[in-house]
């Protein structure tokens, strides 16, 4: 009987090593988070591996305007078909994009508006008053809302999606989530930046308005489930202990 009790105690304390293993991105004591600056809040900037949808129109987009106003012509129909079959271009690791007629052009690090102006300038020798429409088609962020098994990949359809909007698209902060400890993890040319956001108060709305970038990770810290975690872990042990105790009692009773 003594051996059974010892076995049960060892098994119980051993479960402590497996509780809350679903928690990710833990910060060491004294970890220095990145400071939120105006650069962090700024509009979305193109990065490597972005897929860009680029539409080019001459004469300041005159044909595009006539299409949108319903003016019909064979040329306009051709432009409309081109718009529907827009080609996408991938931003290389060097930050450049290979475009027809002009070759490579550096777009990484630019906002969409800056990139449009840069492309228009590059095509100005080939077309009269070029007009460019640019979109990123593969913007995605990973959101961990504060509960195991609830992570999701959010495709960003708007140019300037905020942290709060991304969380809303993921279903919001879960019951175990700590809204005062939201980590925004971002890769930059200088390395990885980690920002700590407090979204638990109205004052946190400024931080919640940060514009997310492609491949950002939004991680809501979780409250550890100590009680239920231990209960889940020790239930099988208690069951085995009860069975062994019953077996021991039967053996003793037969003597």
Fold exhibited by the domain 24-43+139-222: Outer membrane lipoprotein wza fold like (3.10.560)
Average pLDDT over residues 59-66: 68
Q: Percent of the chain, pLDDT > 90?
A: 33
* 12 has a pLDDT exceeding 80: no
Reported CATH class of domain 51-136: alpha beta
DSSP 137: S
Rg for the chain, CA atoms, rounded: 28
Contacts (Cβ under 8 Å, ≥6 apart) of 87: 53, 54
The owner of tokens 């690791």 is 93
CA gap 159, 43 in Å, rounded: 8
* 232 has a pLDDT exceeding 80: no
CA gap 204, 215 in Å, rounded: 23
Q: What is the DSSP string of 70-125?
A: T---HHHHHHHHHHHTPPEEEPPTTSEEEETTTEEEE-TT-BHHHHHHHHHHHHTT
Q: pLDDT tens digits for 139-177?
A: 889 999 988 778 999 988 887 889 999 999 999 999 889
28-37, 79-88, 192-201, range with the lowest pLDDT: 79-88
């Amino acid at each position: 009987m003594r051996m059974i009790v010892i076995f049960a105690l060892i098994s119980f304390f051993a479960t402590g090593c497996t509780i809350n293993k679903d928690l990710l991105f833990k910060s060491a004591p004294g970890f220095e988070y990145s400071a939120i600056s105006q650069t962090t809040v700024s509009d979305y900037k193109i990065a490597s591996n972005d897929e860009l949808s680029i539409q080019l129109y001459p004469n300041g987009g005159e044909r595009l305007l006539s299409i949108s106003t319903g003016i019909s012509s064979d040329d306009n129909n051709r432009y409309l078909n081109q718009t529907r079959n827009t080609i996408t271009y991938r931003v290389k690791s060097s930050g450049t994009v290979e475009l027809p007629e002009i070759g490579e052009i550096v777009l990484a690090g630019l906002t969409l508006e800056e990139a449009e102006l840069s492309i228009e300038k590059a095509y100005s020798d080939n077309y009269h008053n070029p007009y460019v429409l640019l979109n990123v088609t593969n913007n995605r962020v990973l959101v961990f809302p504060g509960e195991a098994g609830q992570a999701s990949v959010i495709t960003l359809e708007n140019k300037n999606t905020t942290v709060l909007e991304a969380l809303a698209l993921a279903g919001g902060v879960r019951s175990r989530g700590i809204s005062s400890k939201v980590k925004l993890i971002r890769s930059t040319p200088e390395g990885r930046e980690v920002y700590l956001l407090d979204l638990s108060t109205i004052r946190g709305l400024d931080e919640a308005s940060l514009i997310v970038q492609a491949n950002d990770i939004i991680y809501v810290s979780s409250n550890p489930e100590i009680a239920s975690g231990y209960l889940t872990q020790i239930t099988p042990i208690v069951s085995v202990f009860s069975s062994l105790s019953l077996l021991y009692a039967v053996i003793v009773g037969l003597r």
